[in-house]
Chains A and B, each alone.
Chain A
């Protein structure tokens, strides 16, 4: 079925190596998200798997068979592009039917499959329209429809939601997750948005400069990040890092505390850090405070619900001792 294995894969453009030797195992039916800052090589990695770029060295195996030199169309993978890449001169029906037509499938069977896909994606009413007459979300669904009719071994998504507005993004996120539940096909999803990664993935691959920093389930990455980069990248708002004297007390080069792992008080506490509220962001369900805590630096602290602290108010914050992450000088997590 849809297992994909990368063995010592590298990619260089000219003299620049964008992906140093990399190993990765993707199991059948998994929803794997590649996440990382822009330019970290996640899209390149996806294109290598798709076959749109040649690997410089190493092997890609799909279903246990070496697929390194197989052209993209023969790999049994479908891809959804960031720009959707719909064919503008064809109707939605023809767009979705295109891969079937290229595969030489009987028009009758193809028609049935297109209509089934349209049903699943709520596109039945739009089959005769051109992509130019559709909204962003509908175009996105057409692109997905074109991918699912081929019944591929695995789906590849290249930042598919980044051109949609925030509300639609949340909807489509849900729809893609539901689609994955329904089809139970392997999906590889590239994004720079850690929220998408956390909400959708079975397994997250965090990349930086072409190197895999950590592979794990969303909660593994959240609760036990392997290093300072992963700790800072996963979780929103970002983890607070405190260096120097305070970190030395915990026998580490730096300590990290997530905004939600502080205890905030407006009364003086025995071992709390004293600070001053600089900015408070009220979201209704939560309130985020940016607190200047002197030698600990500026900390982001989350309080649940409304919390009556204003700019300039004094407050005391205390980290949850069990939830402190300790890092050494190289940024690696120290064992507890």
Chain B
């Protein structure tokens, strides 16, 4: 795209895609903004006109707002820590030459192909059921009282389910990063007298920094909006109500579209705050 001619041709040809994508994003956002300033109760009188910032005030002053923000951050943070730590360890393990490497790699990646709803149901019924679940049997085998996972340790259970789903993604990205490490660097550090743990800390981990950044950024975007896993397991009970779930309840259970839309705008703001923090903390890794 060097000449003036080819540049304007390129712009013309890119235009439909750009306009479509922009509309796709702007129309729902504008509608959400519009509804958030109106009293809109579909089953109780429909659209009843402007209310100013009422919806925003009501959403924040609700007793379930701050707990839902906290829950969201705990789940996102917990899943990030677990997937990054275990992702690095698994990536190092899978990089070792071993028998049946191809099959093991496919098995490790498999959870990513399972739909969130399905995996949450499988965990709920097969593993975490307090009577018939595998965990319950395991606990009983050792003579312990089975844990009622989804009510006694609800957040932990959801973190576990979501981590299980996202671990393959982290492992995959980190594995490619581990494989791109120059073997000479490891040998040089070995000659320089670095022990295995020092090699990990000084050579491998800094090399992975960029990949970890990407894993954290992409996962955060998706994790802020997890929904299916909560819907099919606890249904928002036992302190597992995230901001996304709260918005869902406001719109569909309370049939209050205006209030839900205000919550949606808060979610957009929260996502941006988190994104800015993440960019600050890890973004500089992308420059190097």
B191 within 8 A of A: yes
> CB within 8 A of A81: which of B187, B195, B202, B206?
B187
**Distance (whole angstroms) from the CB of B207 to the closest CB of chain A:** 7
Contacts of B206 in A (CB 8 A): 87, 89-90
> CB within 8 A of A85: which of B187, B202, B288?
B187
A85 and B207: CB pair below 8 A? Answer: no
A102 and B198: CB pair below 8 A? Answer: yes
Contacts of A146 in B (CB 8 A): 188, 192
A50 and B191: CB pair below 8 A? Answer: yes
A83 within 8 A of B: yes
**Distance (whole angstroms) from the CB of B112 to the closest CB of chain A:** 29
B184 and A99: CB pair below 8 A? Answer: no
Tally of chain A residues near chain B (CB < 8 A)? 25
Contacts of A137 in B (CB 8 A): none
Find residues 232-288 in chain B having any chain A CB closer than 8 Å to their own CB: 288
A81 and B207: CB pair below 8 A? Answer: no
B188 and A81: CB pair below 8 A? Answer: yes
A73 and B192: CB pair below 8 A? Answer: yes
Q: How far is the CA of A72 from the CA of B188 in the complex (A)?
A: 10
| Interface mask (A222-234 → B, CB under 8 Å = 1, otherwise 0) | 0000000000000
A126 within 8 A of B: no
B190 and A72: CB pair below 8 A? Answer: yes
Find residues 114-159 in chain A having any chain B CB closer than 8 Å to their own CB: 130, 132, 146, 150
**Distance (whole angstroms) from the CB of B161 to the closest CB of chain A:** 35
> CB within 8 A of B191: which of A52, A82, A86, A88?
A52
When C-beta atoms are compared, the residue in chain B nearest to A78 turns out to be: B191
Find residues 189-248 in chain A having any chain B CB closer than 8 Å to their own CB: none
**Distance (whole angstroms) from the CB of B182 to the closest CB of chain A:** 6
Contacts A98-B202, A102-B198 hold; do A87 and B185 have CB atoms under 8 A apart?
yes
Q: How far is the CA of A52 from the CA of B202 in the complex (A)?
A: 19
Contacts of A86 in B (CB 8 A): 185
A89 and B209: CB pair below 8 A? Answer: yes
A77 within 8 A of B: yes
Q: How far is the CA of A226 from the CA of B203 in the complex (A)?
A: 46
A102 and B193: CB pair below 8 A? Answer: yes
**Distance (whole angstroms) from the CB of A98 to the closest CB of chain B:** 5
Contacts A85-B182, A85-B187, A87-B202 hold; do A102 and B209 have CB atoms under 8 A apart?
no
Tally of chain B residues near chain A (CB < 8 A)? 19
**Distance (whole angstroms) from the CB of A282 to the closest CB of chain B:** 41
Find residues 42-90 in chain A having any chain B CB closer than 8 Å to their own CB: 50, 52, 71-73, 77-79, 81-83, 85-90
Q: How far is the CA of A72 from the CA of B194 in the complex (A)?
A: 10
A103 within 8 A of B: yes
B209 and A79: CB pair below 8 A? Answer: no
Contacts of B202 in A (CB 8 A): 87, 98
Contacts of A52 in B (CB 8 A): 187, 190-191
Contacts A85-B185, A87-B185, A89-B288 hold; do A99 and B193 have CB atoms under 8 A apart?
yes
Contacts of A77 in B (CB 8 A): 191
- From B190, B206, B288, residue with most partner A Cβ within 10 Å: B190
Contacts of B32 in A (CB 8 A): none
When C-beta atoms are compared, the residue in chain A nearest to B199 turns out to be: A102
**Distance (whole angstroms) from the CB of A22 to the closest CB of chain B:** 22
Contacts of B187 in A (CB 8 A): 52, 72, 79, 81, 85
- From A86, A87, A88, A103, residue with most partner B Cβ within 10 Å: A87
Q: How far is the CA of A146 from the CA of B288 in the complex (A)?
A: 22
**Distance (whole angstroms) from the CB of B287 to the closest CB of chain A:** 11
B189 within 8 A of A: yes
A73 and B185: CB pair below 8 A? Answer: no
When C-beta atoms are compared, the residue in chain A nearest to B210 turns out to be: A89
A98 and B189: CB pair below 8 A? Answer: yes
Contacts of B288 in A (CB 8 A): 89, 130, 132
Contacts of B207 in A (CB 8 A): 88-89
When C-beta atoms are compared, the residue in chain A nearest to B190 turns out to be: A72
A103 and B182: CB pair below 8 A? Answer: no
When C-beta atoms are compared, the residue in chain B nearest to A98 turns out to be: B192
Contacts of A99 in B (CB 8 A): 192-193
Q: How far is the CA of A213 from the CA of B190 in the complex (A)?
A: 32
**Distance (whole angstroms) from the CB of B198 to the closest CB of chain A:** 6
Contacts of A71 in B (CB 8 A): 190
When C-beta atoms are compared, the residue in chain B nearest to A83 turns out to be: B184
12 A-B pairs with C-beta separation under 8 A:
A52-B187, A52-B190, A71-B190, A72-B190, A72-B191, A79-B188, A87-B202, A87-B203, A98-B202, A99-B193, A102-B189, A102-B198
Q: Which 10 A-B pairs have the closest CB atoms?
A: A85-B184, A73-B193, A85-B188, A99-B192, A102-B193, A89-B206, A81-B184, A83-B184, A85-B185, A102-B194
19 additional A-B pairs beyond A52-B187, A52-B190, A130-B288, beta carbons within 8 Å, are: A50-B191, A72-B187, A73-B190, A73-B191, A77-B191, A79-B191, A83-B184, A85-B185, A85-B187, A85-B188, A87-B188, A87-B189, A87-B202, A89-B206, A98-B189, A99-B192, A102-B194, A102-B198, A150-B192
